[in-house]
Each structure stands twice: as C-alpha cells, then as structure tokens.
Amino acid sequence: MDWLTADKSGLAVDPESISFIKTPTDYYDSLLNGIRTAKHRIILSSLYLGTGELEIKLVQALENAIEANPNLEVGILLDYLRGTRGAPTKSSSTMLASIADKANVSFYHTPDLRGFTKSSLPARMNEIVGLQHMKFYVFDDDVIISGANLSDSYFVDRQDRYVMIKDNKSLVSFFDSVFKAVSGSSFRLKGDGKLELPNECTVHPYEGDRQAFTDDLAAKLRAIAPIPSALPDSKTSDTLVYPFIQYGPVGINDEVDLLTRLFGRAQPDLAVTVATGYFNPHDRYLDQLLNQATYPASFVFAAPDANGFYNGEGLSGYIPHLYVNLSKDLYEAAKAKQRDLTLHEYSRPGWTFHGKGIWIEQKTAGISATMLGSSNYGYRSASRDMEAQVLVVTSNDKLRARLEEERKALLEFTSIVDAATFRRPDHCVPYWVKLFSRAFKHFF
C-alpha cells in the first residue's frame, strides 16, 4: 500500500504489541491500570472528563499516583468549551482542580470562536464552531488510541474502538510532542480553579490575532509531523504505524490527503469498511467513492436509537434525523450508480454507538491496514476539530486475522440498510430537516 503512505515514513512495530480492547468496561479498566502502574509519564487527551462516580475514581487514581511518585509527570488535555461547561459548579475543570498544581491540566480553545460569535452563542451551541477532539492515553511507553472520551457512558454502554500499542518509545514520543505543542497554546488550570495562559503562549486564542495564533500552533505541530526517527528495521518490518494530526483551521490536512487517496483509488482488489459515530461523510469523499473508486465499500454507523442525540432536548433531538437523511442520500446515490456500497446500522438495546475507524484489505497482496483515532471522517474532522489518528499497515497474518475479527465484532449488532429501512417510523425525517440538512451538515 505504498500509494497510501507515499509521503510518510512509518515506525516499525511488533504486531504482538498491538491489542484490541473489546468493551467499554475493558477500556475503563485499562485506563485505571495504566494510571496505577505508570512509573514516569501519564498523558490523557480527550474532549472532556465526565463528573460521575467512575470519573471520580479515575481522578482519585491520578491523585494517588502523583502522591506515591513525585517524579511522575502527568499531563491532561481537554477542550475548553466542553471541559468548562457547567463550571464553576460541576465540570471537567472542577473535577481536576485537586491535581492542577501537581500536573499540567490544559484546556484548548479554538481560535475560531471569538468576538460577537463567542459572546452570542450559548454553551453547547458554541461547540459547533470547533473542538479539541483528540483521544490518546499514554502510560510510560504504552498508548491507547481511541475515539472514546473519559465519561461514564463510554465506560459502560457506548460502543467505541480502543487499540493499545505497548512499549513503543518512538510512537509515544510523537504523542508526547503533540501534547506539549497543543498544551503550550492552551489555558492552564490552577489549583484555585482559574484558567490562565502559560507564558509560552504569546497570542491569546480568541482575543489576539487569529492568524498569528494559528501560524504559531501550525509551526509547532509541523515540527513534529514527520515521524520521530524510525527504527532501523522499519524497511523490513511486516508492520508499520503512521501517526498523524488533522487540524484544518491551521492548515494541517494529513488525514484529508490520506482519505482523498483512499476514496479515489480505482483498485478492485481492495475492500474498505468505514465506521463512524456520526454519519456525515465529506462530499469530496463521497464523490470519489461514487465516481472514481472501484472497490467494494461498507459504512457502519448508528441507527437512530443508538445515536447519542436520540431523544435529546430541543433541536439536538433532531440530529439523528439529519444522519438518517444523509444515509438515505448515499443509499440512493449508490443505487443509481450501481455502486457496490453497503450500509450497516448499529442498534443494540440500551447501547449507543460511537465507533470509528477504517479497515482496508488487499487480499491479492496479503496486506491489511486500519485507521484508528478520534476522527469521524466528516466535515467537522476535515475543517473544524483537532484530530489524532494512527494508520497501521501490516502483512503479518496473525495481526491481519485479528483486524478482521475486530471488524466482524463491530458488525455483530448491525443490520444492512435497504429501501424498507427508510419506511420505518424511526427513519421518517421531518421535511424541515430535509430542507436544511445541506446547510446543517457542515456543523455535525
């Protein structure tokens, strides 16, 4: 698959060091275990930290780890808008105040929410402008790459994807550098609950000059975008990993470039499956899939009752209808083009779906690949949010088999979408949602 990674250098990785965490409970236990056993470094990057009992237990584990090991470096990166929602009573920031003086607890604020827009948009709605969306969790030289946040539903009954890569200093160095670059341009939490910019952040994210702020952050991220020194055997290893960042607002488009190559590939011996928590593929990708790609493709996404916004209050309750309408548009377009494209809806009683990732198989060459991380491969990921991804490419038969096992497990609670699906009552889309979906889709 050199065509997919032509401009990047990969890190050699032992295929046995890659493990697939299967359930939300296992994910939570892995986080707790990582915190409790880390000797010199913990980094947690997420959209937000919840405020429930399970999250309190996580913070207590962090407090205990710091107290037991004064040399332990702890860094936490969350989104400013989502992470301070509910403050000063109960929020991510209030949850972490107890360790703020002993750790680097940072909250990134998008430079695109400023001026009149910032003063006029209420909490929740202001998050549509842009977020820090990266989810990676580092414990010494191990890292969990995921799409899951640090919140109770993600620990119990919200299906996501979580992959651990153990004992890889070069890969962890990449994520450590990303954390330091972004936290240096973020607000720092103090023990008294106040948020202040560190001295190294010389331009205010939303009061200062936008171009100066984004230029500075882009320079820091581009400095680490090339893979840290590849291992000596990277040319002969059967498994390579390629970490990268996507952040459109500062002009870093590694994910967009890679997906453009993939979705426009005219190669019939490929098979591609795309999972996304929120079905809203970028028009560019859909145009390529329908008019250029020649391989069979599948999409996996939440049915209305498995969407996190299902039965939400106010306008948010109509968001599942938006995704239904978008899936219907693609279903009909694929039928009209006679394109080999299958849609799968995830529905499991009492569960929601937030899984995301891409599985690529080239059987004739004996090569498989997977993309994993925080992106949903839609408009937000391309142009609004900060995303962290990893591409794993392997010819190792055992790892290829485990990748296929993981993909099939994700399909266990899905059904194939057909014309009858859109005649069901829960798939009936209000006319006004159809009317405005083209405008709304750029924000979700």
What tens digit of pLDDT does each residue of 70-96 get?
Answer: 999 999 999 999 999 998 889 999 999
Write down the pLDDT at residue 41. Answer: 98
Task: Give DSSP secondary structure letters for 298-327.
Answer: EEEEE-GGGSTTTT-SGGGGGHHHHHHHHH
CA 269/CA 15 separation, integer angstroms: 24
**Lowest model confidence (mean pLDDT) among 4-8, 124-128, 237-241:** 4-8
Q: Which of 135, 344, 354, 356 is labelled catalytic?
A: 135
Q: Which of 79, 109, 133, 176 is labelled catalytic?
A: 133
Average pLDDT over every residue of 416-422 = 98
**Lowest model confidence (mean pLDDT) among 224-233, 278-287, 305-314, 346-355:** 224-233
CA dist 209 → 85, 111, 136, 202 (Å)? 25, 9, 29, 10
Residue 16 has pLDDT above 60, yes or no: yes
Closest to 29 measured CA to CA, from 50, 56, 65, 58? 58
Domains along the chain with CATH numbers: 15-224 (3.30.870.10), 239-443 (3.30.870.10)
Average pLDDT over every residue of 372-389 = 97
Residue 367 has pLDDT above 90, yes or no: yes
Write down the pLDDT at residue 279. Answer: 93
Average pLDDT over every residue of 26-37 = 99
Q: How would you class 345 by CB atoms within 10 Å of its CB: exposed for 0-12, middle for 13-18, buried for 19 or more?
A: buried
- Strands 73-79 and 41-45, by their bridges, are parallel
Average pLDDT over every residue of 2-26 = 93
Q: Residue 1 corresponds to which amino acid? A: M
CA 287/CA 289 separation, integer angstroms: 6
pLDDT category, 97, cuts 50, 70, 90? very high
Residue 132 has pLDDT above 70, yes or no: yes
Residue 135 among the catalytic residues: yes
Q: How would you class 68 by CB atoms within 10 Å of its CB: exposed for 0-12, middle for 13-18, buried for 19 or more?
A: exposed
Residue 18 has pLDDT above 90, yes or no: yes
Give tens-digit pLDDT for 139-193.
999 999 999 999 999 999 999 999 999 999 999 999 999 999 999 999 999 999 9
Give tens-digit pLDDT for 347-358.
999 999 999 999
**Lowest model confidence (mean pLDDT) among 136-140, 272-276, 428-432:** 428-432
pLDDT category, 227, cuts 50, 70, 90? low
* Segment holding 272, helix H or strand E: strand 270-275
Give tens-digit pLDDT for 44-65.
999 999 999 999 999 999 999 9
CA 68/CA 76 separation, integer angstroms: 18
Q: How would you class 222 by CB atoms within 10 Å of its CB: exposed for 0-12, middle for 13-18, buried for 19 or more?
A: middle
pLDDT category, 23, cuts 50, 70, 90? very high
Write down the pLDDT at residue 343. Answer: 98
Residue 235 has pLDDT above 70, yes or no: no
Round the average pLDDT of the chain to a whole number and report it: 95
Residue 232 has pLDDT above 60, yes or no: no
Q: What are the φ and ψ backbone dihedral angles of 110, each rounded to 5 degrees?
A: -60, 140
* Segment holding 165, helix H or strand E: strand 162-165
Closest to 44 measured CA to CA, from 118, 95, 117, 113? 95
* Joined tokens for residue 139: 């414990």
**Lowest model confidence (mean pLDDT) among 105-119, 221-235, 264-278, 413-427:** 221-235
DSSP code of 205?
T
Average pLDDT over every residue of 17-34 = 98
Q: Which of 8, 14, 112, 140 is labelled catalytic?
A: 140
pLDDT category, 229, cuts 50, 70, 90? very low
pLDDT category, 311, cuts 50, 70, 90? confident
Give tens-digit pLDDT for 315-348.
788 889 999 999 999 999 999 999 999 999 999 9
Average pLDDT over every residue of 39-47 = 99
CB 379 within 8 A of CB 18: no
Write down the pLDDT at residue 1. Answer: 86
Residue 140 among the catalytic residues: yes
DSSP code of 428?
P
